[in-house]
Structure 1
Amino acid sequence: MRLEAITWDRLGDLLAERLLDLEPVDGGDRPRVAFDGAPAARPGELAQRVSEALSVRGRPSLVVGTAGFLRPASLRLEYGHQDVESYYNGWYDTGALWREVFDPLGPGGDGRVLPDLRDPVTDRATRSPYVRLPPGGVLLLHGPFLLRHWFPLDLSVHLVLTPKALRRRTPDSEHWTLPAFERYEEETDPSATADVLVRTDDPRHPAWNG
C-alpha cells in the first residue's frame, strides 16, 4: 500500500473534511469514528486534533477514550498485573461502551453519551455527567484493539507502528503488552481492515493512505 507523507495538522484537516460528508451506514444521524492504535501511537492526540478541526468547521464532536472504560482492577488484574490474555480480552468494558456510547448514538438514540466510566488511575467511578451529542455530531473514539469488537463504525482510522517502532516507543514497564498487539495484527489485520491507515513510526513525520 502506498503511503504519502503528511503533517499532523494537515491530516487533522483532511480527516475533518472527510467527516463533514460522512453519513452513518445504519441510517442514524451521528457518525461514529474509531482511532485505533497502541498507546505508543497516541491515537487520542489525532482524535483531539480532528475534533478541533471539526469545531472550526462548525461541526460538534465528542472525543471518548477507551481508557475511561476499563473494567475494575479486581477483574482485569485477577490473573496478575502483566497477564497478556487479560489485557487483550478483559481489560476494557466493551459492554459499557455499547450501552453508554454506541447505543445512544444509533438510530433512534437520544445522543446522551457517558464520556467515561472509571478513572484508570484511582480505579473509582468518575461520576462524569452525560453529554448530549446533537444530531450531526461526530463520535471520535480512540484506543487499542477497536477493530475486533464489531462496533458500528462509520469510519476507522488505524495508527500503525512497525514491531521495532512499537517496541522502541513503548515504555519498558509496558513491554509485557507487546504480544497482545502481535496477536491483534495476526487475528484482525487492522492495517487491511481500517478505512484509513496512518503510519507513525516517526512521530514527527506521519504518512497516510489518503
Structure 2
Amino acid sequence: MRLEAITWERLTDVLAERAMETKAGDGSPWLRVAVDGAPAARPGVPAEALADALRVRGRSVLVVGTGGFLRPASLRYEYGRHEPDSYYDGWFDTGALWREVFGPVETGGTGLVLPDLWDPATDRATRSRRVELPPGGVLLVHGPLLLGHWFPFDLTVHLRLSPAALRRRTDEGEQWTLPAFERYEREVGPAEAADVLVRADDPRHPAWALRQG
C-alpha cells in the first residue's frame, strides 16, 4: 500500500464519506464499522470523531468499546496477570460481543445493542440498558485485536504503530502485552486485512491508504 499524509480532520471526513457509501455485505439494514488498534494508538478517539461526523451527515451511530466486554478477572488472570497469550486469546469476551452487539444488527435483528457488559474496575456486570439503533444506523466498534474473529464488519480501519512506536507509546505497566500484538501481526496481518490502514507512529502526522480490490 502507498501511504499518503493526511490530517486527522481530513481523515475523519474521508472515512465518514466512505461509510456513507458502504452497504452491509449481508443485506443488514445496519452498517458495522471497526476502528482497530492497540490501546497505545487510542482507537476510541478517531472512533468518536467518526461517529460525530456521521451524525452530522444524518446517520444514527452507536459507539461500542471492547473494553466494556472484558471477561471476569478470574478468567483473564487464570494463567497469571502478565500472560500475553491469555491477553490475546482470553481477555475479551468475543462470545458476548457476537451475542449482544453483532447479533442484534444482523439481518432480522432487533437493533437493541448492549453497549457494555463488564466493568473491569469493579469486576462486576455493568447492568447497562440496551440501546436501540434504528435501521440505517451505524454500529462503530473500537478496540484492540478486533480483526481475525470473523466479526461481520462492513468497513474496517486499522491504526498501525511500528514495533518501536508501539513500545514507546505503551505504558510501562502494559509492556507485557507487546508479544500479543506481535502475534496479531503474524497471525492476522491487520495492516493487510483492513479496508483502511492508518499509520499513527507520530500522532500529529498520520498517513493513510485504502486497500484496493
Identical pairs, percent: 69
Q: Who is 2:205 aligned against?
A: 205
- Work out the CA distance in 2 between the residues paired with 1:152 and 1:130: 20
Spell out the pairing of 1:33-112 with structure 2 (5 A cutoff): 33-112=33-112
User: Over residues 61-119 of structure 1, what are the superposed CA-to-partner deviations in whole Å (9 max), with x where a residue is unaligned?
Assistant: 11100000000001111111101111010000000000001010000001000000011
- Work out the CA distance in 1 between the residues paired with 2:134 and 2:120: 28
How much has 1:26 moved relative to structure 2?
A: 0.3
How much has 1:120 moved relative to structure 2?
A: 2.0
Give the secondary structure class of the aligned counterpart of 2:118: coil
Extract structure 1 runs of 4+ deviating beyond 6 A. Answer: none
| Greater shift in the superposed pair: 119-128 or 28-37 | 119-128
Spell out the pairing of 1:147-158 with structure 2 (5 A cutoff): 147-158=147-158
- Work out the CA distance in 1 between the residues paired with 2:69 and 2:100: 10
Point out where structure 2 has 5 or more consecutive residues left out of the alignment. none
- Work out the CA distance in 1 between the residues paired with 2:148 and 2:175: 22
User: Over residues 135-187 of structure 1, what are the superposed CA-to-partner deviations in whole Å (9 max), with x where a residue is unaligned?
Assistant: 11001101111111010110110000000000000011110000000000000
- Work out the CA distance in 2 between the residues paired with 1:22 and 1:123: 37
How much has 1:2 moved relative to structure 2?
A: 1.0
Q: Does 1:171 align with 2:190?
A: no
- Work out the CA distance in 2 between the residues paired with 1:166 and 1:173: 13
Give the secondary structure class of the aligned counterpart of 1:209: strand
What TM-score does the superposition give when structure 2 sets the normalisation length?
0.97
What amino acid sits opposite 2:105 in the alignment? L
Point out where structure 1 has 5 or more consecutive residues left out of the alignment. none
How much has 1:21 moved relative to structure 2?
A: 1.9
What amino acid sits opposite 2:83 in the alignment? D
What TM-score does the superposition give when structure 1 sets the normalisation length?
0.98
